[in-house]
Chains A and B, each alone.
Chain A
Amino acid sequence: MSAVADNYAKLQELGVEVLSVSVDSHFVHKMWNDNELTKMVEGGVPFHMVSDQAGNIGKAYGVYDDNMGIELRGRFIIDPDGVIQAMEVLTPPVGRMFAETVRQFRAFQVVRASKGAEATPAGWQPGQPTLKPGPDLVGNVWKVWNPKMEK
């Protein structure tokens, strides 16, 4: 969570707004922000920390764990039309890689800007060539992309 807060400016440059959700009350969110996160992130958490005490939102997104009464680490990328473009769910002990989230936003934004005419291959990084699916690409992906291009 603090990783996202710390990199918030990068997300803002991409036109991305952040919402974090847990089963803690908004009062607890305040205490966590004021007493701990402000020590890790200058100025504290810059986005809305949403409270979902009954787990209703988590259930709708398939990340609520009934046994533990918590929400699993779920990360969703939602486009400007309100459509989910990506989701990743991890069990609690392992944190996410922020850079991969940024890469996916960049990739989805390229695809959206092309109105679906372009696609990004595995390992694609911003600035690298995209694929243009169509009759000419069938059987010819090897000419423009190979697995070794993924670093």
Chain B
Amino acid sequence: MADEPKGCARVTGSVVGEGPPSAPVSPAPETRKETAVTARVGQKAPDFQAPAYFKGGFTNVKLSDYLGKWILLCFYPGDFTFV
């Protein structure tokens, strides 16, 4: 596990190997690379790292740190939604 996210920076998850999405000093949205959908059954799961909340603390999660374990990865629309 990497360090926990620091301070108030707006951090987000990123796909490993896409290069850091940081340093938007001179924003150039027209050159922004779209993340390609690569998830398919029978294929390697796209690796990612992202900030997370875990049992009272903030941490950084990297999917590939979990190699050797079965993973249930669940996306959902948002916190405080009803289902």
Q: Which residue from B37, B44, B45, B70 sits with its C-beta under 8 Å from A17?
A: B70
The answer to whether A60 and B74 touch (CB under 8 A), given A26-B58, A36-B80, A48-B53, is no
Q: A-B pairs with CB below 8 Å: how many?
A: 213
Q: Which residue from B15, B36, B67, B78 sits with its C-beta under 8 Å from A57?
A: B15
Q: In the complex, which residues 34-83 of chain A have their Cβ closer than 8 Å to any Cβ of chain B? A: 36, 44-54, 56-63, 68, 70-83
The answer to whether A49 and B70 touch (CB under 8 A), given A60-B46, A62-B37, is no
Describe B's contact surface by its main secondary structure.
Answer: loop
Those 7 A-B pairs whose CB atoms lie nearest each other, nearest first = A52-B13, A32-B79, A29-B53, A78-B71, A60-B46, A74-B75, A54-B12
Question: Nearest-CB distance from B22 to chain A (Å)?
Answer: 11
Contact B41 A72, beta carbon cutoff 8 Å: no
- CB pairs A–B below 8 angstroms (10 shown): A16-B69, A16-B72, A21-B73, A51-B12, A59-B36, A75-B72, A78-B71, A80-B70, A84-B39, A95-B83
Describe A's contact surface by its main secondary structure.
Answer: mixed
Binding site for A on B (CB under 8 A): 5, 10-15, 18, 21, 34-48, 50-55, 58-59, 61, 63-64, 66-81, 83
Contact A61 B12, beta carbon cutoff 8 Å: no
